Structure 1
Amino acid sequence: MKILCQLLSVLLIALILIAAGVPHTALIISPDALDSLPADTLPIASPDSMDAPIHYKAKDSIVMQIPKKRILLYGSGDTKYKETNITAERISFDQENGMVEATKVNDTAGKAIGRPVMTDNGQSFESDTMQFNITTRKAKIYNTRSVYGEGFITSQQSKRMPDNTIFGFKNTFTTCDLDTPHFQFRARKIKVIPDKLVISGPANLEIEGIPTPLFIPFAIFPITQGQRSGILPPQYVVNQQKGIGLENGGYYLGLGDNFDLTTRIDLYSYGSWGIKASPTYRKRYKYNGGFNFDFANTRFGDPEVKSEFSTSKDFRVTWNHSMDSKARPGVNFGAAVNFGTSSYNKYNVFDYNTRVNNNIGSSITFSKTWQGKPYNLTMGLNHSQNLSTRDVSISFPDATFTVNTIYPFQPKEMVGAPKWYEKIGISYNTILRNQANFKDSLFGKQAMFDAMQTGMQHNIPISFSIPVFKTFTLSPGINYTEYWYTKKLIRKWDPNKKNLGSDTAGGAIDTTYIPGFYSARDISASMSLSTAMYGMYTFNKNSKIKAIRHVMRPTMSVSYRPDLSSQYYHELQYNKEGDKQMVSDFDGAIIGVPSPGAFGGINFGLDNNLEMKVFSKKDTTGRHEKKIKLLDGFGINGSYNLVADSFKLSTFSLYARTNLFDKLNISASGNLDPYQVDARGRRLDKYVWQQGKISLGRLTNASVSLSTSFQSKDAKSKEKEQKIDSLENVQGADAAFAAQQRQLQMVRNNPGEYVDFDIPWRIDLSYSLSYTNTIIPDSGGVVKRITQYVSFNGDFSLTPKWKIGLNSGFDFTNMQIAYTNMYISRDLHDFNLSINLIPFGTYRQFSFTISAKASILKDLRLNRSRQFYDQ
């Protein structure tokens, strides 16, 4: 009787819930509540077989079949046991064997609805029919579709084991998110180890549902996030110089969160080879960096013909290091090293940005700022290298120590307006240089160390400024500079010495270096006056141009510098005709040389700024005005030496810069020599305008550069910014930076494979013009040289899925097309198709590549490349 009453109570509760019109009925049955009831009288599993409650609900109805010990859920059934959740249109639970079975149904139109979905520990399975045993935690699933990271797996049948391992029968694997994928791998058997690997037996690639001849004996697809070690497959190329080759094959070795190592090898049929090692390191919130060690052995000609056979052994070393600014406040260490043989790029690099740049450089710096004190220290190593001329310059150690301006007469607590002497400031700056200039073939040899120069410069400026006449600023100052040298240059004309390249003695300059300690000094006193003047021109009310404003900032200073370095200057004969010029014993010194003679004169300059206000509907302030800069700055500088015997007026320095409409950047500069020259090119102490010409002087050099960039709007720019932010938050700033650098290098090497289809078109243009008018006194010749170069790069979309791009330029000096790279890209949804072409020049290349988009299949690529080299 007691058992019957309890049973009726349970049924009564269910009837009350249904009568109340609650569509989603939920029952929570706990094993603790069943201890007093016989297990065989209720449609649930026995308390001994469960260690957690079972939660279940349904939208339509719940049917309890007490004699069969079964519960049936109809209409959006939902069952949850521990971490396992099953939803389906129909669910049945059998107490006898602890089996949960979920199925779909067809609506009146024959369309399947309520497909079973099983979620367990972050894994999701969608199928037609699903069976799950609560006791053993095993499951059998029919016609399932699962998602693992970027991959989608469908299986005709699959078994899920208690450790969450999946065994599948008659399966497909793809990264295409469409219901009918563009491509897939079909395998009879697979095994899925959650959060680790998908392993399959023999698999066949299908494209658009059509089997291809491509079979693989096995496949391993990693589905973990983060660092993974593995083989890096090579790509097939054909190089006219090196033969058939396999490039960039190697191995990636993950050594934890702080280190990894990538090794790659290039092999070619003609005997050339190359090896690359790229270790990287990082420590979150501290530092990150990486090395690249590249060595290449390139063979030319036939080894059987020794006269035509040669080899080129080249290397390149790069190192990048950056330090988090919060790691040690006031201390920073950074490195950007790029060093190697001049012929490395010639035979081993083909990307556009590297080929058009013949200059490489390196910089390693350490800096320290003392908190609360005016001291700053910077130390470093600097390197520059011209790959065309093979000139190398290395500076190490290179140090600068600075004491910021201090005001010795200023009280600790200011009261009222400061007095003039309280504004006197003094600072100190010292520079240490140790530099060698040599050809790259002399690296590490004694000649490189013989070319080393060392010098040190000390500078102590004393200055202050006071306002005068309301709108002017008066700035007196004293500046003392001292130079220390370790070598002295002695040059004399030797009439019996042979000129370079001549077999007869016609005379030449004989040069001798004398080591030792030498010093020179310079001191000057100055007083400058500056102000700003404004002019405004206003237009009528109906004009779209409201006003034009002109700002002039004239400066004038009087300075005096005595001649303290005359002992280090002398006249040098430089040709057999007896012509002479004034030279210094320290010409070419890396810390500079004091100017010869005394100076007592005037320095002057004028800077201008031009702006315009126009009518603008976009202005929301109510004034409907917009400010446009016509000229950011343009002006002239010069000086006049009152105590000089001749050539009192200096050359004029001109400059101009602007950014029109925030699109067109323009900069220009030049120098004018106000003195006349004779037939042999020697300067005369006569001004150009004394010949009756209306001119400030002869243009000795000038340069003009223009650049602009245009592109259409990116519809997904905000989404991309959010993606980058999320990447940095997940991986950390250091890892994100390292990944960004690797991605940037891949973009440079394969521009056609990394195009942004969200930007319909983009174009970048730049133009540079330089002019030099050099006079060679010893020959009387005048050398005028004009160089012009225009570069352009951009791309545009023929359709939303087709894009054409071009990087090129034109050299007007040599009247030839510069290094050119053309590419065509096609978005194939799951794949990228790219065609890269370098059609002109010594280095020509053609490549055809199809590569998968998904990072899990980044090594799935078909590449066909041909490279041609003309010596």
Structure 2
Amino acid sequence: MNASYKNNYKKFFRRTYLVFAGMLIAIPFIIDAVAGSRPQAFSFFNKNLADTIQPVVRKDSSKVKRPVPVAVPGADTNILSPDADTSKGTTVDTLFVPKISKDTLDAPVHYKAKDSIILMVPDKRFYLYGSANTKYKSIDLTAEKMNFDQETGILEATNAKDTAGKLFGGPIMNDGGQSFESDTLKYNFTSQKAKIYNTRSQYGEGYIHSAQTKKAADNTIFGFKNGYTTCNLDTPHFSFRARKIKVIPDKLVISGPANLEIEGIPTPLFIPFAIFPITQGQRSGILPPQYVVNQQKGIGLENGGYYIGLGEHFDLTMRGDVYSYGSWSLTASPTYRKRYKYNGGLNLSFANTRFGDPAVKSEFSTSKDFRITWNHSMDSKARPGVNFGAAVNFGTSSYNRYNVYDYNTRVNNNIGSSITFSKSWIGKPYNLTMGLNHSQNLSTRDVSISFPDATFTVNTIYPFQPKEMVGKPKWYEKIGISYNGVLRNQANFKDSLFGRQQMFDAMQTGIQHSVPISFSIPVFKTFTLSPGINYSEYWYAKKFIRNWNPNKPNLGTGDKGALDTTYQAGFFTARDVSASMSLSTALYGMYTFAKHSKVKAIRHVMRPTLSASYRPDLSSSYYRLVQYNKEGDKTPMSDFDGAIIGVPSPGTFGGINFGLDNNLEMKVFSRKDTTGNHEKKVKLLDGFGINGNYNLVADSFKLSTFSIYARTNLFDKLNISASGNLDPYQTDARGRRIDKLIWQQGKISLGRLTNASISMSTSFQSKDKKSKAKEQTIDSIENAQSKDAAFAAQQRQLAMVRANPGEYVDFDIPWRVDLSYSLAYTNTIIPDSGGVVRRITQYVSFNGDFSLTPKWKIGLNSGFDFTNMQIAYTNMYISRDLHCWQMSINLIPFGTFRQFSITINPKAGILRDLRINRSRQFYDL
């Protein structure tokens, strides 16, 4: 309908049928006036209601049950509905009851328009102009223009043209979560069917562009001349073109023969049919494999398998790999969860790897490996005071070498496991922790297992303190006592001995009890005095007896002569007791600069500590002198050296412990400070100090080594930490320490530097405009971890990020640089030879990326080892954002495991298996 036609009908209403139209429109208002009040701003239409309203004879209102107004969801008024609830016998005293036709609609239709709404009485049509909106049950339709035919029950929605001839206001239909955008839409209210032209609809991550679409009453969609894509542009970069497509809501998108088009250009890739799942929630199904080419294993299919959904709390994923050279692997990954209780996942992997040609035995080798990982976490609110967690990683030493392609995992020689149970008695000072710990060196094949380990502690209690404190507490009321008990069981063995008798023979058991008694009182107002007594007792199940054997081969030098160690089982005890008294305080110093100086002041804080302690020699009975070299030199060794709970120190100690900690800050002028002082605090040194002790009762070497340290964070960007040890004693020509201090030689020095280290790190990056949105996403993931199995899925995702950094770059950050540097120094004197071994290790690592353009990014992770003068592990990548696709090139050019790969894949998860990947691996075994 053109604009002039619309205006003529407006005049026609005003001049000719004004009275007739007024009477017709007044009828619904008369009915509503007697049935219930209704705001007049609300409009509705019903084809049969206009033709079937008949007067009825008035009856006794007490006997006639009448429909009552009901609320329509989302509406701002109450309207009459044939589905009104009259089960409670609600009656309304009224004169007329409208007779409802059998073919009337089963729900009201609500409509509105921004510009105008026109009723064509002779044609029984409604015309809506300007951002028209119609709602019927679950259907919500918006368009620039609409017209409704009461005779046929068909609503037609179209777009419009602006003054420049550009189309706008196309129909958008939302129905039960389905969305349709089109040029023209026709909907039949009676049959609830629709026909849509030039439509674009979304199903999950996918979009369907269709020339014509038919919507059935059950919401099934039939499309003609279609294109399926995950690109959200009106003209997509790629699509699968199919003549016919059927959409079963919340289940599948099914098409006939389809052809892949890229940028509108058909490709030679045809598929006989396609099935795209659009289900929501847990569904069992096949996991398609990925085609790969491996240099050592041949052509293969990876990660193919089956997913089994076993309900809300449990599921199982089965995956497998198979290669043309005979290698294969199987992985079972069950996960479990119970909201607000616990969640976890288990991985069981078995692999059979074949290398070389079986016909050439010298070049052929096989490796059968396994790996078990398990993670479990418990919601802290499930059982207050009780917690159980597990992080298990156990397997053969060669599994990572042959079956893992992530460089960091492959070169990591240490794996470990931990299973812990803890309980805290609420309202009581008791705490119990039990666990199993495992550590394994994949290079040396050494395994250490601790089980069971247990720790029971009693927090500090004050036995002399009254239940209700009155006035200032007495000194004895501050006396506190606590208890700490440790049970250790540990076995160290080679992985080939797992489960054998040798593993149980290597098991050690020990228990340690510790009872500290302490209290603190202020003295001289600024000092704190803290006396204390500590008693420890050790229980052992084995004694180590060591003797010099001149005929035993020395594995370290190849010469004859080494220590023999035998074990004696039984129950053995040792004990230790010590008394101490410490005094501490804090001293403040301030230096103020000139009034107009940018540096306002520098503050220095010193925290000296001084303590005296005494420990009698209670361990002399199990210490004896043992020869350790062929020259006949002897050293005191304990029968319990090497025990897992430690051993008391030999000899008597009565001396002084001292320490000094410092903090340095300054105030500078800052225009950003809005408090009015225009000052800003800058930390120069977070802490730096020295610690040591002096043994008054020792017959030699009374002064200990000095431990020095420093740490700071300059300008909130540069983290610096340093530490070292100083030995104050001289050495003789054979490299042995002698009881003479270095400064007795006339040198002004605290001692000889035996070791030192320093590390620095910093990070720079440009501003991320989407940082807040990403933080919200991270928070939502963290919250989901306590509700379901999202944690296990996130761990798999992080592993993929580490393995393919080029596929997971952040294009919102134009550039980023991370730098770190470490320096370590050791100065060791070898006894008997007098030789001095000085070793310096330096390592610098850097990683970062930058954007050549908003869609191209280049990244590098690398480092340099100054000790060996070689480049460390290096990974270079190039990424290209192709809107709905992404391309990445990864290169590891150096090292034992070198790799090159190029990958092009869609971003949408539903098409994650539609990827082009070419990779080459090179091993230096």
TM-score of the alignment, normalized to the shorter chain, above 0.5: yes
Can you list the C-alpha shifts for 1:540-591, whole angstroms capped at 9, x where unaligned?
1222211111111111111111100001111111122111111111111111
Measure the CA separation in 1 of the matches of 2:385 and 2:652: 42
Q: Paired residue for 2:319, among 252, 257, 264?
A: 264
Q: 1:712-751 to 2 correspondence within 5 Å? A: 712-725=766-779, 733-751=787-805
AA at the equivalent of 1:656: A
2:80 is equivalent to residue 26 of structure 1:
no
2:582 is equivalent to residue 528 of structure 1:
yes
Measure the CA separation in 1 of the matches of 2:505 and 2:29: 103
1:127, distance to aligned residue in structure 2 (A): 2.2
Secondary structure, counterpart of 1:507 in structure 2: strand
1:165, distance to aligned residue in structure 2 (A): 0.7
Measure the CA separation in 1 of the matches of 2:797 and 2:329: 22
2:784 is equivalent to residue 767 of structure 1:
no
RMSD (CA atoms): 2.7
1:19 counterpart residue number? none
Q: 1:75-90 to 2 correspondence within 5 Å? A: 75-90=130-145
Worse-superposed segment, 317-326 or 296-305: 296-305
Going from structure 1 to structure 2, the CA distance change for 1:679 and 1:312 (only over 3 Å counts) comes to farther
1:282, distance to aligned residue in structure 2 (A): 1.4
Can you list the C-alpha shifts for 1:412-471, whole angstroms capped at 9, x where unaligned?
111111111111000000111111122223222222222211111100000111111111
Measure the CA separation in 2 of the matches of 1:828 and 1:501: 60
> Any conservation in 2 of the 1:239–1:868 contact (CA below 8 Å)?
no
1:162, distance to aligned residue in structure 2 (A): 1.1
> Any conservation in 1 of the 2:52–2:100 contact (CA below 8 Å)?
no
Q: 1:175-214 to 2 correspondence within 5 Å? A: 175-214=230-269
Q: 1:570-585 to 2 correspondence within 5 Å? A: 570-585=624-639
Aligned length: 857
Can you list the C-alpha shifts for 1:29-84, whole angstroms capped at 9, x where unaligned?
4867864349xxxxx99553422233344455555555554444455444433333
Measure the CA separation in 2 of the matches of 1:779 and 1:479: 42
Can you list the C-alpha shifts for 1:671-729, whole angstroms capped at 9, x where unaligned?
22221222222221111222222222222222222222222211001122234455677
> Any conservation in 1 of the 2:336–2:789 contact (CA below 8 Å)?
no
Secondary structure, counterpart of 2:799 in structure 1: helix
> Any conservation in 1 of the 2:338–2:787 contact (CA below 8 Å)?
no
1:315 counterpart residue number? 370
AA at the equivalent of 2:107: A
Going from structure 1 to structure 2, the CA distance change for 1:464 and 1:501 (only over 3 Å counts) comes to closer
1:517, distance to aligned residue in structure 2 (A): 0.7
2:170 counterpart residue number? 115
Measure the CA separation in 2 of the matches of 1:720 and 1:111: 37
Can you list the C-alpha shifts for 1:754-798, whole angstroms capped at 9, x where unaligned?
111111111222222222333443555443332222222221111
1:669 counterpart residue number? 723
AA at the equivalent of 1:26: S
2:645 is equivalent to residue 591 of structure 1:
yes
Going from structure 1 to structure 2, the CA distance change for 1:447 and 1:768 (only over 3 Å counts) comes to farther
AA at the equivalent of 1:216: I
> Any conservation in 2 of the 1:237–1:866 contact (CA below 8 Å)?
no
Going from structure 1 to structure 2, the CA distance change for 1:726 and 1:30 (only over 3 Å counts) comes to farther
Measure the CA separation in 2 of the matches of 1:643 and 1:710: 55
- Gaps spanning 5+ residues in structure 2: where? 1-17, 31-38, 56-98
AA at the equivalent of 2:529: L
2:488 counterpart residue number? 433
2:472 is equivalent to residue 417 of structure 1:
yes
Secondary structure, counterpart of 2:802 in structure 1: helix
2:706 counterpart residue number? 652
Secondary structure, counterpart of 1:496 in structure 2: strand
1:796 counterpart residue number? 850
1:447 counterpart residue number? 502
Measure the CA separation in 1 of the matches of 2:696 and 2:511: 31
1:733, distance to aligned residue in structure 2 (A): 4.1
Measure the CA separation in 1 of the matches of 2:784 and 2:572: 58
> Any conservation in 2 of the 1:355–1:819 contact (CA below 8 Å)?
no
Measure the CA separation in 1 of the matches of 2:491 and 2:199: 70
2:430 is equivalent to residue 375 of structure 1:
yes
> Any conservation in 1 of the 2:337–2:787 contact (CA below 8 Å)?
no
1:598, distance to aligned residue in structure 2 (A): 0.6
2:3 counterpart residue number? none
AA at the equivalent of 2:345: G
2:601 is equivalent to residue 544 of structure 1:
no
Going from structure 1 to structure 2, the CA distance change for 1:80 and 1:646 (only over 3 Å counts) comes to closer
2:177 is equivalent to residue 163 of structure 1:
no
Measure the CA separation in 2 of the matches of 1:377 and 1:806: 47
> Any conservation in 2 of the 1:832–1:850 contact (CA below 8 Å)?
yes
Secondary structure, counterpart of 1:588 in structure 2: coil
Worse-superposed segment, 463-472 or 647-656: 647-656
Secondary structure, counterpart of 1:798 in structure 2: strand
2:412 counterpart residue number? 357
> Any conservation in 2 of the 1:31–1:51 contact (CA below 8 Å)?
no
Secondary structure, counterpart of 1:413 in structure 2: coil
Worse-superposed segment, 606-615 or 475-484: 606-615
Can you list the C-alpha shifts for 1:172-223, whole angstroms capped at 9, x where unaligned?
1112121111111111111111222212122111111111112222222222
Can you list the C-alpha shifts for 1:81-131, whole angstroms capped at 9, x where unaligned?
333344444434334433333334445544334433333223222223322
1:258, distance to aligned residue in structure 2 (A): 1.8
AA at the equivalent of 2:404: V
> Any conservation in 2 of the 1:30–1:52 contact (CA below 8 Å)?
no
Q: Paired residue for 1:274, among 319, 329, 340?
A: 329
- Gaps spanning 5+ residues in structure 1: where? 17-21, 39-43
1:158, distance to aligned residue in structure 2 (A): 1.5
2:615 counterpart residue number? 561
Worse-superposed segment, 410-419 or 226-235: 226-235
**More RCO (CA 8 Å, sep 6+):** 1
Going from structure 1 to structure 2, the CA distance change for 1:417 and 1:508 (only over 3 Å counts) comes to same
Worse-superposed segment, 698-707 or 610-619: 698-707
Q: 1:677-826 to 2 correspondence within 5 Å? A: 677-725=731-779, 733-777=787-831, 780-826=834-880
Q: Paired residue for 1:514, among 564, 568, 571?
A: 568
Give the TM-score normalised by the residue count of structure 2.
0.88
Going from structure 1 to structure 2, the CA distance change for 1:104 and 1:581 (only over 3 Å counts) comes to same
Going from structure 1 to structure 2, the CA distance change for 1:28 and 1:723 (only over 3 Å counts) comes to farther
Measure the CA separation in 1 of the matches of 2:592 and 2:290: 67
Going from structure 1 to structure 2, the CA distance change for 1:471 and 1:180 (only over 3 Å counts) comes to same
Going from structure 1 to structure 2, the CA distance change for 1:774 and 1:295 (only over 3 Å counts) comes to farther
Measure the CA separation in 1 of the matches of 2:41 and 2:408: 64
Q: 1:3-42 to 2 correspondence within 5 Å? A: 9-10=23-24, 26-29=43-46, 35-37=52-54
1:405 counterpart residue number? 460
Going from structure 1 to structure 2, the CA distance change for 1:56 and 1:529 (only over 3 Å counts) comes to closer
2:532 counterpart residue number? 477
AA at the equivalent of 1:549: R
Going from structure 1 to structure 2, the CA distance change for 1:101 and 1:727 (only over 3 Å counts) comes to farther
Going from structure 1 to structure 2, the CA distance change for 1:15 and 1:643 (only over 3 Å counts) comes to closer
Going from structure 1 to structure 2, the CA distance change for 1:171 and 1:645 (only over 3 Å counts) comes to same
Can you list the C-alpha shifts for 1:318-369, whole angstroms capped at 9, x where unaligned?
2111111111111111111222222222222232432453322221111111
Measure the CA separation in 2 of the matches of 1:45 and 1:57: 24
2:400 counterpart residue number? 345
Worse-superposed segment, 81-90 or 817-826: 81-90
1:41 counterpart residue number? none
Worse-superposed segment, 400-409 or 817-826: 817-826
2:886 is equivalent to residue 832 of structure 1:
yes
Worse-superposed segment, 689-698 or 230-239: 230-239
AA at the equivalent of 2:427: G
Give the TM-score normalised by the residue count of structure 1.
0.93
Secondary structure, counterpart of 1:26 in structure 2: coil
> Any conservation in 1 of the 2:852–2:858 contact (CA below 8 Å)?
yes
AA at the equivalent of 2:24: V
Going from structure 1 to structure 2, the CA distance change for 1:664 and 1:732 (only over 3 Å counts) comes to same
